[in-house]
Amino acid sequence: MSVMDILVERSAPLRRRLPAVQRRLSAVRRVPVLGRLITWLRLDFAGSLVGTFFFCWSLTPSLLPRTWYYQALVTGVTATIGYAIGALIGVLVRLIIRKTRRGRPLARQTVTAAWTVLGIVGTASAAWYMAGSARWQSDLRDLMDVDSPRLYHYIFILLISFLLFIGFLAIGRLLRGASRRLGRFFARWVPVQLAVVLSALVVTGLAVWSWTGLFYPWFLGAANSAFAAINQETMAGESSPAIGTHSGGPGSLVTWDSLGRKGREFISQGPTAEEIEEFSGLPAMDPVRTYVGMDTAETPAGQASLAVRELERAGGFDREVLVVVTATGTGWVDEAAADALEHLYNGNSAIVSMQYSYLPSWLSFLAEGEQVDIAGEELFDAVYEYWSRLDEDSRPKLVAYGESFGAVGSAAAFDDLDELRAKVDGALWVGSPTWHPLREEFTEDRDPGSLQRLPEYQGGETVRFWGGWQDPMDVSGWEEPRVLFMQHSSDPVSFWAPDLIWSQPDWMREERGPDVLPNFNWYPFVTFWQLTADMAVSALMPVGHAHNYGGELVDAWLMVVPPDQDWSEEKLDELRDMVQSFDMEDEDRLW
């Protein structure tokens, strides 16, 4: 007896109920709109089977708790991908069956039984995973100390993910219908098999061209125009500085308006000497903050040259420490990092940065990925050229800094670790993506037995990786210049990679980080989209988790370029609380 015969025999009780169900469906089909919808919605069995697996996997935990709309997006996209994969497998299986059975279709009872079993098992599995998702999401929220979702969120997940699936299915069937019609047209002049191939190639080519040649450029152009307009805005309460150590202030070589939105935000938020003195109780200086916007020069090289002249004018080369910051896509510089450094050095510091895009990092990565490398290299090389001519005994410590997408651009100025050692007195890269060239090298060539999420490289002599407060690190034996990578175990920005689509990374096979659930598992295609959605909310998690480093940056600066002054633990705690407030302001925006 074959497997299918056994399945038919054991499903007899279910089949006895089918006539009543079929009568009800027939009644529904007599309603014109519903009838057409049900007829159109006829699904592929193999596609539905694999799509059900993907639907369930999409509800499993990843690195971060997700809002209902991001979960619905992940579920809708991954279920569609699963359906498409299954439908393709189904086509191949049916071709094989037709050949082995000499064109005889499967018995209607067999097909009915298979669909019945799939419907029951699929519904039960979906319900079980939805219940599990509620539990897993609550566990994640407990780890991250954020509020749990409400019950109606899961109803929205089902509804929106279903609508997304229907939308993607409609697009797919529209393309398939166009291919079939075109195939019938080609079949008038060429063999049927060739007509099918030609029509598929033509429709695919037109679809790709419509995206890459029409919609995608239009979308990027519209986005660039929109964010260029936003770049001209000034936030309430921001005004040009009254001190000469800041760009846009008295004697500055750049105007306040030319700094751009994020540049004006960075310049206006810096502490004054009086505020630092009030905190430390010691004499302080006005920190140097210099910034060059996109509107000040036609090329990155011109911006970098102007940035050096502005830094010289403001007295940046006379300070104790000089940090070259590669900004993120919009030109954002982390205020927590800047404030932490300036308070630790009592204002005897200088920071220089420049803008290279109007777009947020993810759009900048898609549209102009090379710009961050060009900007990072041009700015550091221009600063280094001037700095290297100064007296070694009196010039400031030179430090490279970048966060997130900016860390990639910051590293572009160095070909390898030897050049990095030769040119800087320290480097701090925070939440850097996997394609950070030096991080990628250090991770791949890590010492045997060390973790991929926190690799050890050459015994930690120069380069070290730190997971934040939850992963304490001993700094003994760490030679100067010190290079530090900060990356939380729950930061999706630090672990997202395209190859998550088809391969499981080492960090998911290793011991999990302190704020990662032990039942976070890898699934093909699904995990990629889960981490993609996680990145969208990663900066809104509480400090110490995901992409929010906040007060931990105080400790990072103390490790990389410790100041001469000894700070009490009480003052350091006060400073940590002060700087992490910049990251906590929007904590509840998505929750």
As given in the structure block, the two tokens for residue 544 are 């110490």
Residue 48: strand, helix, or coil = helix
Contact criterion met (CB below 8 Å) for 300 and 351:
no
- Of 229 and 461, the structure prediction assigns the larger pLDDT to 461
* Phi–psi pair at 431, nearest 5 degrees: 55, 45
How many Cβ atoms are within 10 Å of 189's Cβ, its own excluded? 8
pLDDT value at position 492?
94
The residue type found at 143 is L
pLDDT value at position 30?
52
* Phi–psi pair at 486, nearest 5 degrees: -100, 125
- Count CA atoms within 13 Å of residue 434 on its CB side: 15
Contact criterion met (CB below 8 Å) for 498 and 528:
yes
Task: Identify the helix (H) or strand (E) that includes residue 464.
Answer: strand 463-466
CA distance 523 to 84: 16
pLDDT value at position 580?
80
Tell me the C-alpha to C-alpha distance, in Å, between residue 270 and each of 284, 316, 334, 406.
Answer: 14, 15, 11, 20
What value, to the nearest 5°, has the Cα angle with vertex 403 and ends 507 and 530? 40
CA distance 87 to 119: 17
Average pLDDT in the 138-161 region?
81
pLDDT value at position 469?
86
pLDDT range class, residue 524, cuts 50, 70, 90: very high
Task: Identify the helix (H) or strand (E) that includes residue 55.
Answer: helix 45-58
CA distance 65 to 61: 8
Per-domain boundaries in the chain: 43-186+489-543, 238-486+549-574
The residue type found at 360 is P
Query: Which single residue is written with the structure tokens 């993607």?
Result: 168
CA distance 53 to 59: 10
In the chain, % of residues over pLDDT 70: 89
- Mean pLDDT score across all residues of the chain: 86
CA distance 291 to 293: 7
Task: Identify the helix (H) or strand (E) that includes residue 72.
Answer: helix 68-100
Pick the CATH number of 238-486+549-574 from 3.40.1350, 3.20.20, 1.10.150, 3.40.50: 3.40.50
User: What one-character-per-residue DSSP string does 148-196 give?
Assistant: PPPHHHHHHHHHHHHHHHHHHHHHHHHHHHHHHHHHHHHTTTS-HHHHH
Does the pLDDT at position 534 exceed 80? Answer: yes
pLDDT range class, residue 246, cuts 50, 70, 90: very high
Does the pLDDT at position 33 exceed 90? Answer: no
pLDDT tens digits for range 163-217: 999 999 988 888 888 888 888 888 888 887 788 888 888 888 888 888 777 787 7
Helix residue ranges per DSSP H, 191-330: 192-209, 216-231, 260-268, 273-280, 300-313
CA distance 266 to 445: 37
Mean pLDDT is highest, among 225-234, 295-304, 424-433, 470-479, for 424-433
Contact criterion met (CB below 8 Å) for 70 and 533:
yes
CA distance 431 to 495: 9
Does the pLDDT at position 483 exceed 50? Answer: yes
Rounded to the nearest 10 degrees, the angle between the axes of helix 108-144 and helix 3-10 is: 80
pLDDT value at position 92?
85
Does the pLDDT at position 491 exceed 90? Answer: yes
pLDDT tens digits for range 408-458: 999 999 999 999 999 999 999 999 999 899 999 999 999 999 999 999 999
pLDDT range class, residue 94, cuts 50, 70, 90: confident
CA distance 409 to 413: 8
As given in the structure block, the two tokens for residue 420 are 């990095």
As given in the structure block, the two tokens for residue 496 are 């997202």
How many Cβ atoms are within 10 Å of 248's Cβ, its own excluded? 24
pLDDT value at position 496?
94
pLDDT range class, residue 543, cuts 50, 70, 90: confident
Does the pLDDT at position 23 exceed 50? Answer: yes
pLDDT value at position 2?
45
Does the pLDDT at position 106 exceed 80? Answer: no
Query: Which single residue is written with the structure tokens 């995901």?
Result: 546
Which of 481, 350, 329 lies closest to 404 in space, CA to CA? 329
* Phi–psi pair at 118, nearest 5 degrees: -60, -40
CA distance 286 to 56: 56
* Phi–psi pair at 25, nearest 5 degrees: -65, -35
pLDDT tens digits for range 571-582: 999 999 998 865
pLDDT value at position 554?
95
